[in-house]
């Protein structure tokens, strides 16, 4: 019995160790400070539409909005019905928009390219570039922690807002402060963005330790 208990304990510890290795949340990567120029602008990623894109290709006259997202995180599922509206506001503001999937540890399952395509079509945002971030390279460069995690850049590709979409993922009708929408509108108007950083709430990005 003692031997069986010892084996079970070792097995449990091995599983726990693997889970921490496969699902690193990015604590070792510093999130970009406000004012920082976007890194990896020439980094090429494959989209669910089959095209290859770089961030510099997706930016528009007034900047670029990047949201780290995925297919199954409950926080993403709660928030993603707002993606089309965000896309419309970004377009009117002259800001490009890209969704980034950095869940490398789930590429053989929930966050494969095929699953990403199905999810984008099902949720009704096929016009929004949904890009696969190989080995979480872009997430690491941005210091992205969660899905979702928002990064808004101005026309000079300097970071002007970072954090959450709004203050209520559970109910759009109960949102008191729409952080991202406000930031987009203030960016267009040339006004100060306040707050310019908020706490990103969501599931940890599922990185693989190389």
Q: How many residues does the chain have?
A: 210
Q: Which residues of the chain are modeled with pLDDT < 70?
A: 1-27, 210
Does any domain span residue 124?
Answer: yes
Does any domain span residue 7?
Answer: yes
Does any domain span residue 107?
Answer: yes
Q: What is the pTM of this model?
A: 0.87
Q: Is 180 helix (H, G, I), strand (E, B) or coil?
A: helix
DSSP assignment string, 77-99? HHHGGGHHHHHHHHHHHT-EEEE
Please report the pLDDT score of residue 117 as a whole number. Answer: 96
Q: Which domain holds residue 166?
A: 2-204
Does any domain span residue 210?
Answer: no
Instruction: Tell me the pLDDT tens digit for each residue of 106-118.
Output: 999 999 999 999 9
Instruction: Tell me the pLDDT tens digit for each residue of 138-166.
Output: 999 999 999 999 999 999 999 999 999 99
What angle, rounded to 10 degrees, do the helices at 83-93 and 179-189 form?
10
Which domain CATH number covers 98?
Answer: 3.40.30.10
Please report the pLDDT score of residue 209 as a whole number. Answer: 80
Does any domain span residue 196?
Answer: yes
If one counts the domains in the chain, the total is: 1
């Amino acid at each position: 019995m003692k031997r069986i208990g010892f084996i079970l304990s070792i097995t449990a510890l091995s599983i726990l160790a693997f889970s921490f290795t496969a699902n690193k949340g990015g604590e070792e990567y510093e999130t970009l400070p406000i004012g920082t120029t976007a890194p990896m602008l020439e980094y090429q990623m494959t989209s669910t539409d089959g095209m290859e894109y770089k961030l510099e290709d997706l930016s528009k006259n007034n900047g670029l909005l990047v949201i780290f997202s995925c297919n199954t995180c409950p926080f993403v599922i709660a928030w993603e019905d707002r993606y089309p509206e965000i896309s419309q506001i970004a377009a009117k503001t002259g800001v490009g928009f890209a969704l980034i999937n950095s869940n490398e540890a789930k590429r053989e399952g929930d966050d494969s390219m095929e699953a990403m395509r199905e999810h984008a079509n099902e949720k009704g945002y096929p016009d929004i570039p949904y890009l696969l971030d190989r080995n979480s390279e872009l997430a690491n460069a941005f210091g992205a922690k969660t899905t979702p995690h928002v990064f808004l850049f101005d026309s000079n590709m300097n970071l002007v807002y970072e954090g959450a979409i709004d203050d209520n993922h559970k109910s759009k009708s109960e949102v008191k402060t729409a952080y991202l929408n406000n930031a987009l509108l203030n960016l267009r108007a040339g006004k100060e963005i306040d707050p310019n950083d908020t706490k990103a709430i969501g599931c940890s990005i599922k990185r693989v330790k190389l």
